[in-house]
Amino acid sequence: MDNKSIAGILYETADLMEIDGADSFRIRSYRNAAEAIEAHPQQISDLIGNDKQLLAISGIGKGMLQNLKEMLGEGRLKLHAELLTKYRPSMLQLLKVQGLGPKTIALIWSAYQVSDLEGVESLAREGKIRILPRMGEKHETKLLKAIEDYRRIAGRFLIDVAEKQAEKIADHLRHYPGVEKATPAGSLRRGRETVGDLDILVTGPACCDDTERQKLIDHIIKLPGLMEIIARGENKISFRMRGDMQVDVRLLAPDSFGSAMQYFTGSKAHNVAL
């Protein structure tokens, strides 16, 4: 288990404790510890057993040390597992909706046993949120808008984040002999403020025959940070990068590069119109 995973569990535990109504300072400690672990230069898993070094990390005390031992020893944190049984994983998603906090989520759960985005949206549409204690019409309206905003942004990346990722991938591609151009298309090329996934178009001699394409794809999968290959075909490979961004790379013969660029830049509606 790496530091990122450990921190992730601690963050989630903090969120769940908040829904559970735990002491806010104790919750903060979990977040502080998660942050400290995320930023720690060495792997916590390598330091296990070395209590002195672990306790030297600011934000890690006696109790958190026990939590770390439990996570690395048993692969899980009992508190985390129990809270997930008591409540619902979908509540963690609800927490990301602006204006929806742990208290309100717990309130909705206790009143309706509803814990997911769609369910809460329905309740709001039916006017069932405003009748809850402390809620009102204004809350309900804001909640509906917040859910709409969440849906628009969820699973997408801000353009500057996508741009940096795309540039790294394009560089990797261009370092391969026989690649002339590697250019991002899709919503990134259209300059949208958020991007769902990356579409990168490649052309050059390396794209022109079967053997060469296979060799190029073999090179592509060496890309640092590539976590999972989703699909590998003759002319296209899809993969997921660290950080969950999905990438499609398409290999194109030079004489179809222009039309492909047009098509894959989109938008879909624009293509239909054309």
Partner DNA sequence: TGGCAATACTG
Partner DNA sequence: CAGTAT
Partner DNA sequence: GCCA
Chain residues binding DNA by CB under 7 A are 23, 25-26, 28-30, 32-33, 55, 57-65, 79, 97-105, 107, 134-139, 142
Distances (CA, A) of 154 to 93, 125, 243, 268: 10, 21, 14, 20
Q: Give the CA radius of gyration of the chain.
A: 24
Q: Please state, in angstroms and rounded to a whole number, the distance separating the CA atoms of residues 81 and 89.
A: 10
Whether the CB-CB separation of 231 and 248 falls below 8 Å is answered with no
SS (H, E, C) 263-274: HHHCCHHHHHHC
Which run of H or E residues covers position 240?
Answer: strand 236-241
CA 141 vs CA 89, 98, 126, 145, 170: distances in Å: 25, 13, 11, 6, 44
| Beta strand 236-241 pairing with 246-252 | antiparallel
Q: 């991007």: which residue's tokens?
A: 195
